[in-house]
Structure 1
Amino acid sequence: MIDRRALLRTSGVAAAAGALGAALPASAEAAESSRPGGTPAPAGTDPTEGVTRTLLQEHPSPAEGWEAVQTLVQIPRHRESGRHSHPGVEVGYIVRGDVLMEFDDRPPLRLRTGDPFFIPDGVIHNARNVGRVTTMMLSTYVVDETQPLVTTY
């Protein structure tokens, strides 16, 4: 079992600052300016490199055995979250950027700044940054408190 807090604190490069308007880590800024738009990450690199997940808040849910967790996810250009699922629903909002949300069981969904999204319990998905800036997503989960927040595939 993955420790939820450890995963959120150590995902990708250094954890992002805990505010929506926070500056990007220097390594993410360098990655953004080093390749022209639309150019994929170099072969052999980890497609999730530089992805950060910052835990914003965590509270017991009104439903016994469940909890509400909110995170700020930042995905640099040409990077992706990696295929994963959650033990409950994810309700999200694209704060900045363009994402292709890919699913194992349905067609992909193109999301842009200002778009909300919903991912059902257990659905395997991958958020791929297809834009020109680091994507920022606000994700709120209502999940089984006995399970890890993220299961990777």
Structure 2
Amino acid sequence: MSRINTRYAAGWLGVALVTATLGTFTGLAQAQESKAPAKNWQAGLSRTDLVRRDLDVDGREVIQVRVDFDAGVTSPKHSHPGVEIAYVIDGTFEYQLEGQPPVTLKAGDSLYIPAGIAHVAKNIGQGKGSELATYIVKKDTPLVVLQP
């Protein structure tokens, strides 16, 4: 009888250990994933996720975010696993796309950024600047890939 109880207890202990381990890893993964969109690339820059939807094209999704920059703030050099359309809501920005001369955009202007092209955005205005970024990207891949 004690042998059955020991096996029973050991089995439940194993289930509890696996459940706790998976819960910990899942919680960490979700915490990292949920922090990624809200995480500042540097002080003075923040993102607000607005829309994330699957497209009719297999393996693709559309993501739309608002990105707010304090005056003088520059994003790190980065790329995306698909195209980005940047629309300036407020302020003045300078965009530097790899291999192209800098482009200055003001409120109401937009810019098409091809997939995989490294780029930097800088708020060159006097106050806070905001852009609406729309991405058409591969699903289940990181949205932002930092470049050296």
TM over 0.5: yes
CA–CA distance in structure 2, aligned partners of residues 67 and 125 of structure 1? 21
What's the counterpart of residue 50 of structure 1?
Answer: 44
Runs of 4+ in 1 over 4 A off after TM superposition: none
The SS at the match of 1:78 is coil
The count of corresponding residues between Structure 1 and Structure 2 is 116
Is 1:11–2:44 an aligned residue pair?
no
Is 1:124–2:114 an aligned residue pair?
no
Report the Cα offset of residue 146 of structure 1: 2.5
* C-alpha contact 1:4 1:149 (8 A) present in aligned 2: no
**The structure with more radius of gyration:** 2
Unaligned runs of 5+ in 2: 1-31
1:52-77 Cα offsets, whole Å, 9 max, x none, are 01101100011110110000000110
The SS at the match of 2:52 is strand
**TM-score, normalised by the number of residues in structure 1:** 0.72
1:78 to 52, 72, 75: 72
Is 1:104–2:98 an aligned residue pair?
yes
What's the counterpart of residue 44 of structure 1?
Answer: none
RMSD over equivalenced CA pairs, Å: 1.3
The SS at the match of 1:8 is helix
Higher helix content, 1 or 2: 2
The SS at the match of 1:121 is coil
**TM-score, normalised by the number of residues in structure 2:** 0.74
Unaligned runs of 5+ in 1: 13-47
